[in-house]
Structure 1
Amino acid sequence: MRREHDLIGERNVPNDAYYGIHTLRALENFAISGTSISIYPDLVVALACVKQAAALSNNELGLLDGARTQAILLACEEIREGKLLDEFVVDVIQGGAGTSTNMNANEVIANRALELLGHARGEYQYLHPLEHVNLSQSTNDVYPSAVNIAAQFGIKKLIAAMAELREAFAAKAEEFVDVLKIGRTQLQDAVPMTLGQEFSTYAVMLGEDEERLREAAMLIAEINLGATAIGTGINAPPGYAALVCQYLSDITGLRLITAPNLVEATQDAGAFVQLSGVLKRVAVKLSKTCNDLRLLSSGPRAGFGEINLSPMQTGSSIMPGKVNPVIPEVMNQIAFEVIGNDVTVSFAAEAGQLQLNAFEPIIAHSIFKSINHLTHGCLTLAERCVKGISANREHLRHNVEHSIGIVTALNPFIGYASATEVAQEALASGKSVYAVVLEKGLLSKEQLDALLQPGTLVQTR
């Protein structure tokens, strides 16, 4: 053990730990979820990026000497490479507006930097977590800036996953371009369409939401680094905010900007509310899509049975041969979670008081969960469901020929009155519209077959 102290007193810290006394107290205080911030590597990387940018800025402004700067930079680079991830141990749910997370980063970086300088962990007289690693900073500008950066990293991955799913739906739309079926409104027969058209809508919806996510990402490109405690920049030198933003942009590869009003930016969680709302939009539409897939594949004998989903696993411990639509089901559950996360973000953003929102840890946790689970869900849905979907073409054709809704398509050729008679007789007799039209001699078989071609009935492009 090694002895460390803070304003509350002294404590023994495990000698092999890179974290220190502040992190130790957080571990004791916040045994809440059992999940540490290391579950979000993007956040840990973002924290390291912030600390690198701060060290470079402080060095350039004459506040931090070259040796300490270099040691901090090297320690941060190791963290960005994935090392020391298991040292980020504080709970994702924590009081203190993210102070525990910031201190965890400060201590891990400081102790690794001390080793690089040839000192032992805990010898803070040579390089201190607060005086050097946290120089010109506050949790209140470090934490939200890191969350913004981590969210942008995650959004890029989510958009890529959504694009893969969109392409899978688009490929099926092309495959099913000539498959005629009956469209439905309120679950009742409506008018003919193609299965390709049905699947193309799912691709279009995803493409629209990719754009909405890009727009939301632009909002969180604005950071408040340099604001320090409440936005006044206390304890940060003149020129620091602009300089640290430039360094951070270079380090992350993101186009970041300093908020024009740092006091406003330090207390306002509106960008997170907007982002969470877009994530909810994505979730709602994906869930609706999966509802459709489950409905269209229902059966296989007593349901719609229009499409087949690839069997993924045995569906029942009692019913032999049963296979369930487990991939759409898991996507539905992800959507339910994302919708709940959005409620959490809304309440947390509203609960801030005066110059700071103390509830950003739960905002970050909720947003990161939504991004991560949607990303994995999209990839899973594309690979293990959509790409393997097949159409029951004969069944779909049979449904079209026996649907009363097809009368609407024949109305311009046989007239409204005749179409009404055909519909009534088909309903009363149980015969197909196709058969009744032929029996009445309203159209020849050749004419009727020509009218029932996809290119005649619907706009296929």
Structure 2
Amino acid sequence: MRTPWGLILILATSISWAEAPAPGEVRIEHDLLGEKAIPASALYGVQTARALENFQISGRNLSDYPELVDGFVYTKIAAARANTDVGKMDKDVRKAIEAGGMAILAGKYRDQFPIDPFQGGAGTSTNMNANEVMANAALLETGHSIGDYHVVEPHDDLNMSQSTNDSYPTALKVAILMNNDAMVTELEALVAAFRAKGNAFIDILKMGRTEMQDAVPMTVGQEFHAFAAALESEIAIIRSYEKPLLQLNMGGTAIGTGLNAPAGYAGKVARHLSKLTDKDFVVADDLIAATWDQQAFLSASSANRSLAVKLSKIASDLILLSSGPRAGLGEINLPPVQPGSSIMPGKVNPVMAELVNVVAFRVIGNDTSVMLSAKAGQLQLNAYEPMEAMAILDSQRLMTNTMRTLREKCVDGITVNEATLAANIERTVGIVTALNPVIGYEAATELAKEAYASDKGILEVIREKGVLSEEQIDEILDPANLTGLDKRKYK
């Protein structure tokens, strides 16, 4: 996620830390269930401690999703600014919250988000973990001690004018949008890599295939440019599906009625969050609907799935085209990155293309999880947004890293077996389609039948029968005539 370094330099303060508590020391905090001992050095508080006891499920923690942590920081800073604007929060408290938040964005206190993202409660534990850590970070960054809640308080200040039900989806939307930027950057780089190969291979003739049978000729360059174009269209899908993510229910509080949120607060939060993130957030038209409606997350997950399907198809094509290499198609060579077998000497497998499929299958499964979570919501809230968060953020991270790996360790190093392609062109019957305008469909069909019956190439039969001169053959087999190649469209 992009960090606003200019804001960090302006807002983060250089106050020395209070003396660190000795190991084993505790402080006592309380909630509606009673008192609880908290490690004295922990920036989290009692509700985080209860979540640590209740949810030990996945072996992961919130800090494994730094983009979601950042999403909460941005959301809480925007809320603090809006609360100050409407006269509800003291400016000194707002400055302290900003200082603590900017310190977290700069990399401090990241180990203070230990809760398991698998949790019940619609994300309340996550929201309170953020509230507690940001409150204590604010205290430390302004020269106070952990737990000095009379200065900055997790509920009254960090959760002011908010509910988990509007702050959690807002933080998640910020995280998804920022991850989209990183994912699209890698997708654009992968498109460029396929374009570069398309240009390099633009004049190399090969047979196209439909239903795994010889079809009509094309060039290797056209095939790779088609990969690029197909992926390029996914960028437009990702960006078009971002519109619902920009609509916020902040200010709706618990169910969208806006209880405890002052007039004008919702719009100010959206404006401050837009400035912090360079995204054009707006207040949703109906905050009650926006509190339970999962369209934004369904759309984001659907875009992930669409890209995963496209990547998987291309990866499977690369596996087919490089198969063999001597007993398969063997048209292209994927760069070897590791030995392929513990028993077969010299074997090299298409592991990078296979990796793409592994990731694609997981992303498609994640999308199913999002769909099931979205439909399981009841009445005025969907309690399963934490599941959607993990599924979408995991998918984005997996695909971002996988696209970079595919480009660097596979696509950039692909080469072509031109001798194999030339031999295929010489023997295939598929190019007989190009003779239809010259000798007619019936005559071309008879030539094809004879070629198949005699196991000869169509060009060999044509030469034997004197159907065309060598000059005519050369003209028909010119890539520009045979494939409709127009190099100008690829520049």
Q: Normalising by structure 1, report the TM-score.
A: 0.98
- For residue 168 of structure 1, the aligned residue among 165, 181, 193 is 193
Matched, 1:266 2:291: yes
* One-letter identity of the residue aligned with 1:139: T
Q: Distance in 1 between matches of 2:371 and 2:442?
A: 56
- Shift in Å at residue 423 of structure 1? 1.4
* One-letter identity of the residue aligned with 1:56: R
Q: Distance in 2 between matches of 1:416 and 1:261?
A: 63
- Shift in Å at residue 111 of structure 1? 1.0
Q: Distance in 2 between matches of 1:25 and 1:50?
A: 24
Superposition pairs of residues 246-395 of structure 1, within 5 angstroms:
246-395=271-420
The residue number in structure 1 matching 2:118 is 93
* One-letter identity of the residue aligned with 1:112: A
- Shift in Å at residue 173 of structure 1? 1.1
Q: Distance in 2 between matches of 1:26 and 1:149?
A: 24
Secondary structure in 1 aligned to 2:209? strand
Secondary structure in 1 aligned to 2:76? helix
Matched, 1:454 2:483: no
Q: Distance in 2 between matches of 1:117 and 1:412?
A: 83
- Shift in Å at residue 125 of structure 1? 2.6
Superposition pairs of residues 84-163 of structure 1, within 5 angstroms:
84-163=109-188
More deviation, 146-155/85-94:
85-94
* C-alpha distance after superposition, 1:381-409 (max 9, x if no partner): 11111111111112111101101111111
- For residue 270 of structure 2, the aligned residue among 222, 245, 254 is 245
Matched, 1:76 2:106: no
Secondary structure in 2 aligned to 1:92? coil
* One-letter identity of the residue aligned with 2:157: H
Q: Distance in 2 between matches of 1:118 and 1:289?
A: 56
Secondary structure in 2 aligned to 1:2? strand
- For residue 209 of structure 1, the aligned residue among 222, 225, 234 is 234
Q: Is the 8 A contact 2:166 2:252 kept in 1?
A: yes
- Shift in Å at residue 247 of structure 1? 1.0
- Shift in Å at residue 427 of structure 1? 1.2
- Shift in Å at residue 374 of structure 1? 0.9
* C-alpha distance after superposition, 1:340-378 (max 9, x if no partner): 011100000000001100000000110001111111111
- Shift in Å at residue 123 of structure 1? 2.6
The residue number in structure 1 matching 2:13 is none
- Shift in Å at residue 60 of structure 1? 2.0
* C-alpha distance after superposition, 1:213-235 (max 9, x if no partner): 00011220111111111111111
- Shift in Å at residue 157 of structure 1? 0.8
* One-letter identity of the residue aligned with 1:77: M
Q: Distance in 1 between matches of 2:277 and 2:470?
A: 67
- Shift in Å at residue 134 of structure 1? 1.0
Secondary structure in 2 aligned to 1:132? coil
Q: Distance in 2 between matches of 1:460 and 1:193?
A: 8
Q: Is the 8 A contact 2:100 2:140 kept in 1?
A: no
Q: Distance in 2 between matches of 1:449 and 1:395?
A: 19
Matched, 1:412 2:437: yes
The residue number in structure 1 matching 2:456 is 431
- For residue 61 of structure 1, the aligned residue among 82, 86, 105 is 86
More deviation, 120-129/163-172:
120-129
The residue number in structure 1 matching 2:37 is 12
* One-letter identity of the residue aligned with 1:325: P
- Shift in Å at residue 119 of structure 1? 2.8
Q: Distance in 2 between matches of 1:334 and 1:116?
A: 41
Q: Distance in 1 between matches of 2:209 and 2:141?
A: 68
- For residue 47 of structure 1, the aligned residue among 39, 49, 72 is 72
Q: Is the 8 A contact 2:315 2:354 kept in 1?
A: yes
Q: Is the 8 A contact 2:305 2:364 kept in 1?
A: yes
Q: Is the 8 A contact 2:198 2:224 kept in 1?
A: yes
More deviation, 169-178/59-68:
59-68
Superposition pairs of residues 26-45 of structure 1, within 5 angstroms:
26-45=51-70
* One-letter identity of the residue aligned with 2:460: A
Structure 1: stretches of 5+ with no match in the other structure: none
The residue number in structure 2 matching 1:441 is 466
- For residue 211 of structure 2, the aligned residue among 171, 186, 190 is 186
Q: Distance in 1 between matches of 2:143 and 2:310?
A: 55
* One-letter identity of the residue aligned with 2:88: L
Q: Distance in 2 between matches of 1:161 and 1:211?
A: 14
The residue number in structure 1 matching 2:21 is none
- Shift in Å at residue 297 of structure 1? 0.3
- Shift in Å at residue 163 of structure 1? 0.5
Q: Is the 8 A contact 2:244 2:295 kept in 1?
A: no
Secondary structure in 2 aligned to 1:250? helix
Q: Distance in 2 between matches of 1:221 and 1:426?
A: 61
- Shift in Å at residue 270 of structure 1? 1.3
* C-alpha distance after superposition, 1:25-79 (max 9, x if no partner): 1111111111112122111111111111111111222222122221111000111
Q: Is the 8 A contact 2:249 2:283 kept in 1?
A: yes
* C-alpha distance after superposition, 1:165-209 (max 9, x if no partner): 111111111111111111111101111111111111111111111
* One-letter identity of the residue aligned with 2:296: A
- Shift in Å at residue 17 of structure 1? 0.9
* One-letter identity of the residue aligned with 1:277: S
Structure 2: stretches of 5+ with no match in the other structure: 1-25, 487-491
Q: Is the 8 A contact 2:234 2:307 kept in 1?
A: yes
- Shift in Å at residue 110 of structure 1? 0.8
Q: Distance in 2 between matches of 1:219 and 1:2?
A: 43
